[in-house]
Amino acid sequence: MKIERSAGVLLHPTSLPGRFGIGDLGPDAFRFIDFMKQAGQTLWQVLPLGPTGYGDSPYQCFSAFAGNAVLISPEFLERDGLLTKEDLEAALTFNPHKIDFGTVINFKNELLKKAFQNFKSKINLFNSDFDNFCSKENFWLDDYSLFMSAKQFHGGISWTGWEKSIALRENIAGWKAKLKNEIEYQKFIQFIFNKQWNGIRNYARQYGIKIIGDLPIFVAYDSADVWANKELFTIRDDGTLEFVAGVPPDYFSATGQLWGNPLYKWKVMEKDDFAWWKKRIAKLLEMVDIIRIDHFRGFDAYWRIPGDATTAINGRWIKAPGEKLFNSIKNELGELPIIAEDLGVITDSVEQLRDRFDFPGIKILQFGLGENGENKFLPHNHIKNCVIHTGSHDNETTRGFLETERQKNSGIYEWTQKYFNYFGDNMTYELIRAAYASVANICVIPMQDILILDNGARMNYPSTLGGNWNWRFSWDQIGNDLANQYKELTKLYDRPPGRKSENAVLDYQTE
């Protein structure tokens, strides 16, 4: 994939400001797009948009196709006549900078239940659109809505603990009849999510802003995808795991990383020419313009660990049919706008697979800092067909990283000063400027770094549970001149701002 020089921002919608405890697809999302337009940005990178489970990680979702209900905007439900002002005025007082997921999920669920009851009484206003949506998306929506309904019926536990008749899909018709109302509710949520997300994407397009979505290579064990398609995954007939995903021991972990996701039965998938994968890619491309594939190396080879293992030590590398897969998808969907997350230990064969399809790889500037850093991440070794970030959702913020190294007296901060020939007091901005100046065609900066925030704004601490994914910014953190400052960077380093469409629809307000 080749893309012209451009610049953008990494910000998950949950990190947007807003009244209801979590960023959503409401007015503040449109205001953020306005900010991006004013700042000359043409790329908005988000994390996976699916419904999250235990741990609230967007990389462990109940579906590879569905949207996250907590992203639905209450303001727009009111605008569409599905909630009242009184419903919204009853909102709790939430922390503007941190998400309390438990409280937010319960609060949003109550609002969505009210909206659903109103929807049923006004079905004639939505009937055609709702029916068309359900018909178009039935290849995943029917299984997902039944899965979530059965999960609710069983108190939220994993499908492996459900009654056998539904866990092993032995009485689907009976359970559909039993859970009819809840199934319709789950379809309603997806219908509303789809409607609101399309509004976001269309508004961004009108300003020439492309959305970069994120596709985790593996799906969660407790997901509709695995429950409904056990034959495609390393699952035994009784639902237990035969093999799981992870990475082997390395410098950072003596026992490796045991992710626990089921692996794909690639030989089974090849029999129908990777139909499930084609549907997955096609669905995501309906929602975003560019796909970032997380853990791209798994398409070349993956670390296979026994399903009952307690660490990732006793695994083995297994070859994956990445070339066959991407050729098949390309033959059906055309040129693939894919970014390959190629971080970590990358072999020659992974690079060859990436380059065979012209997928840009990723450079994290933090990884190159210091005498022991990897030079491939430094600007003087960049190539045009790559993506440069100062950091990612899994890293410290750049300010936090630099402050940590300075306090440790590791020498990295002093090395960084010499490398960039900068001895001022805003090294974070100097790294951002260097990223913009890089020959890399795509430059995407995390919003935390744009705001020069410390590690209190960090998004994720990998391999830890609790306290992750909960950061939010507020509009008072954005200075009056910030947009102009970044627009000047786009001009200075030839990352041209997007052009407003003559047909732009600006009226997205709730009133």
User: Residues 56, 222, 225, 341: which is the catalytic one?
Assistant: 341
> Which of 333, 298, 336 lies closest to 318 in space, CA to CA?
298
DSSP letter at 99? -
341 is catalytic: yes
Instruction: Return d(Cα 245, Cα 221) in angstroms, integer.
Output: 11
Looking only at the bridges linking them, the beta strands covering 210-216 and 290-294 are parallel
List, in sequence order, the alpha helices (H) in 334-366: 348-356
CB atoms within 10 A of CB 106: 11
Those residues whose C-beta lies under 8 Å from the C-beta of residue 293, and which sit 6 or more positions away, are: 215, 217, 299, 338, 339, 340, 341, 359
142, 184, 242, 294: which is the annotated catalytic residue?
A: 294
Structure tokens at 232: 């495609």
User: Would you tell me how many other CB atoms lie within 10 Å of the CB of residue 288?
Assistant: 22
* Residue 15 DSSP symbol: G
Contact 373, 367 (CB under 8 A): yes
Give the amino acid at 129: D
Longest dimension (CA), the chain: 70
Tell the burial category of 261 from Cβ atoms under 10 Å away from its Cβ (0-12, 13-18, 19+).
Answer: buried
Structure tokens at 101: 């997921």
Report CA Rg, the chain: 23
Q: State phi, psi for 115 to the nearest 5 degrees.
A: -60, -35
Asked if residues 458 and 399 have their Cβ atoms less than 8 Å apart, the reply is no
The phi, psi pair for 264, rounded to 5°, reads -85, 145
| Whole-number Å distance between alpha carbons of 387 and 441 | 7
Cβ distance 26 to 76 under 8 Å? yes
Reference 114, options 76, 160, 82; nearest CA is: 82
Phi, psi angles (nearest 5°) of residue 305? -120, 140
CA pair distance 440, 424, nearest whole angstrom: 25
Q: DSSP E strands: which ranges in 202-309? A: 210-216, 243-247, 257-262, 290-294, 301-306
Q: In this structure, which long-range contacts are made by residues 173-182, counting pairs with CB atoms below 8 Å and at least 24 apart in sequence?
A: 175/146, 175/150, 176/146, 179/146, 179/149, 179/150, 179/153, 182/148, 182/149, 182/152, 182/153
Active site residue 294: yes
Catalytic residue among 34, 184, 394, 430: 394
**Active site amino acids:** 294, 341, 394
